[in-house]
Amino acid sequence: MMRMMMATPAAALIAKTASPLRRRPFVSALAASCTLMHAQQTPSLTTGRRSASTSASMQPATTTAATRADTDWLALRPSFKINASNVRVLHEPSDFFSTLLKGVAQAKRQITLASLYLGTGARERELIEALHLALSTRPELRVNILLDCMRGSRGENEKKSSRAMLLPLLERFGDRITLSLYHTPLLRSLKKKLIPAKFDETISVQHMKLYMWDDTILLSGANLSQDYFTNRQDRYMLFEDCPEVVGFFQKVSRVVEEHSYRVSSKNTLEARRFDPLACSIDEFGASMAAGMRAILAQAPQHSPAQRPASTEALVLPSIQLGCFGFKHDQAITSHILSSTPTDCAVWVASGYFNFPESYQQLVLGQSQGATKTEFKILTAAPLVSLLLLSTREEKRRLGECSV
């Protein structure tokens, strides 16, 4: 029986403007996800039915399942064969934080952290101190940090922003650490002035969650902030000793960095290939999409005859940037939703639940059609959505159960 796990990490599927996960084109962001297939039966998931899995959400989702032998997942590009024992799922926010600290402490060559933002609390300072120690004791180490510009600069006037937190590292270590802030070209001029800071990310954000050190990558939906380090549950998948997978996601991160501002040691924003606030939006989008297409074209692909052995897992990364017409992840997710085996169960885990019309039709078609697919959906309760909490007291009151 084939076991499959699909995770949408970095790019919490919130990153899809005019993309499959929204009923209307409203939010746009860069999305990156990963499907893991393992040729081994999973007793805990066995219910007398064969099963398949998918993820569909506005946030990264992780789901697990098994597919029939003749399913053509291997025709999807890219795909990487890895040792199945090198994959581990973390279970608690504290595990997420301790794994990050351990990775920073052990890194010898490179550390890459891509997130929506970095918080300003005590745990975040502990992470920065770990980065400072690593850079101080390993001269060959290089650090790249990618954040969303609007979220990463929020609170800058009060010196309580992600930028302010990281500035001492930039001043101390110069070119050995790079801080990039992605600013969507869709938010500029009058629109930028009129939309309140709390809602500017509804236009577009850098929403990838990629945490890499040397040949290890931690894919998650969690940001680098106190609540995600302590009591806000998310999904975390750790790939150790997987240089090809790390290399793929590093290339994805680099493309975004090339289209982002670089923060100088004087806390100024320096444009690279494009200035998002002044360039042609079409040229900006075409350049980003071309960069992503080039990454996919260079990545390996396996044929259905090259199925993984019982000790192997197959990793299928996907990328989405719907606002610029790049919908690789949408194609893969649609393929999975439309090709479930007969009499199977599909588990969908999502921080949000708002399928677009196209996904609704696929789910209804598979559940009511000849395959009789059973869909089981796990999502967060509306009461624990921080987007709905307007006061600090409400956030504190629900902090222990936030998802």
In which residue are the tokens 């009499």 written?
343
β-strand partners of 315: 36, 80
What is the average per-residue pLDDT within 349-358?
79
pLDDT at 60 over 60: no
Q: With beta carbons less than 8 A apart as the criterion, state whether 367 and 375 touch.
A: yes
Instruction: Indicate if the pLDDT at residue 260 is higher than 60.
Output: yes
Do the beta carbons of residue 293 and residue 331 sit within 8 Å? no
Domain spans in the chain, listed from the N-terminal domain onward: 89-295
Q: How many residues does the chain have?
A: 403
Please check the confidence at residue 27 and state whether its pLDDT lies above 90: no
**pLDDT digits 0-9 by tens, 286-321:** 999 999 999 998 988 766 556 667 778 888 888 888
- Mean pLDDT computed over 337-343: 80
Helices and strands (H, E) in the chain, number of each type: 11, 19
Q: What is the pLDDT of residue 289?
A: 93
Cβ atoms of residues 333 and 56 within 8 Å: yes
Assigned CATH topology for domain 89-295: Endonuclease; Chain A (3.30.870)
**Given pLDDT bands bounded at 50, 70 and 90, which one contains residue 393?**
low
Is 183 among the catalytic positions? Answer: no
pTM: 0.81
SS3 of residue 4 by DSSP: strand
85: nearest Cα among 135, 27, 36, 139: 36
Identify which has the larger pLDDT, 344 or 51. 344
Active site residue 102: no
Distance of CA 210 to the CA centre of its chain: 6
Model pLDDT, residue 305 = 56
- Catalytic residue of the set 38, 183, 207, 328: 207
Question: Which position among 95, 214, 215, 343 bears the catalytic label?
Answer: 214
Side-chain-side CA neighbours of residue 49 (13 Å): 17
Catalytic residue among 16, 183, 209, 302: 209
Residue with tokens 């007398």: 48
Q: What is the percent of the chain with per-residue pLDDT over 90, rounded to a whole number?
A: 44
Interior angle at CA 319, CA 86 and CA 35, nearest 5: 35
pLDDT in tens, 80-130: 889 999 999 999 999 999 999 999 999 999 999 999 999 999 999 999 999
- 209 carries an active-site annotation: yes
Q: Report which listed range, 34-48, 160-174, 328-342, 372-386, is most confident.
A: 160-174
Mean pLDDT of 317-330: 86
CA angle at 375 for the pair 325 and 47, rounded to the nearest 5°: 135
